[in-house]
A and B are shown apart, each in its own frame.
Chain A
Amino acid sequence: DSGVTQTPKHLITATGQRVTLRCSPRSGDLSVYWYQQSLDQGLQFLIHYYNGEERAKGNILERFSAQQFPDLHSELNLSSLELGDSALYFCASSPSDGRELFFGEGSRLTVL
């Protein structure tokens, strides 16, 4: 158990809908990262937050947004969902830059 909690574990929804994925980092970790893992594109970096502030963006679509709250949990919002958004979404936390990341078990999103 990494100490990173992601909910929900599984989510099935329809095209055009909006979903919110939630992540609780390890106790004391200030950094939260979001990644998308799909079969054909490996593990893609989406976004990094540190202590409530956005630090870096990767290949995150404009339909997606994220935030980190004062209690350090984070949410990834996915809107106007398309079939191609079906993937595993991972959250990871880290105590400081340069240290290893600790991953949650992921949220599997299926868009029908």
Chain B
Amino acid sequence: AQSVAQPEDQVNVAEGNPLTVKCTYSVSGNPYLFWYVQYPNRGLQFLLKYITGDNLVKGSYGFEAEFNKSQTSFHLKKPSALVSDSALYFCAVRDDFDADKLIFGTGTRLQVFP
């Protein structure tokens, strides 16, 4: 069965500094990987995905993520954080061996300080 781990409950970063939100996964087959963001009292919004191809994936709002197969990781990054990036971020994985489920991590709260 597929699983995903987000080891940090919260990440704090100063505005203008680079940010990283970590995600590791476990699948039986090949992974389909996703990042979502959730603002207070809202649904989840899609940021980016890795299906195949380049290991560095670019997404919305200046975010990018790097797929690392050997480390089974898919960390979310942004070169320069904004206060408005403060939100709850979820990593999710779908296993192509069991493609009918999309499993989410527990979420990481990103706090960007002015």
Contact = CB atoms under 8 A, between A and B. Distances in A.
A33 B103 CA distance: 11
A43 B90 contact: yes
Interface in A29-55: 33, 35, 42-43, 45, 48, 50, 55
A58 B42 CA distance: 23
A85 interface: no
Given A97-B99, A98-B32, A105 B43 contact: yes
Contacts of B34: 100-101
B45 A103 contact: yes
Interface stretch (B15-23, B62-70, B76-84, B104-112): B104-112
Interface in A72-112: 90, 92, 97-98, 100-106
A102 B99 CA distance: 17
Interface string B30-52: 00101010000011111001010
B85 interface: no
A11 interface: no
A45 B45 contact: no
Contacts, number: 55
Contacts of B105: 42
Interface residues of A, number: 23
Contacts of A97: 94, 99-100
B102 interface: yes
Contacts of A43: 44, 90, 104, 106-107
Contact of B43 (A42, A98, A106): A106
Interface of A: 2, 4, 33, 35, 42-43, 45, 48, 50, 55-56, 58, 90, 92, 97-98, 100-106
13 contacts: A35-B104, A42-B105, A45-B101, A45-B102, A48-B101, A56-B98, A97-B94, A98-B51, A98-B94, A101-B34, A103-B43, A103-B44, A106-B42
Interface of B: 32, 34, 36, 42-46, 49, 51, 90, 94, 96, 98-107
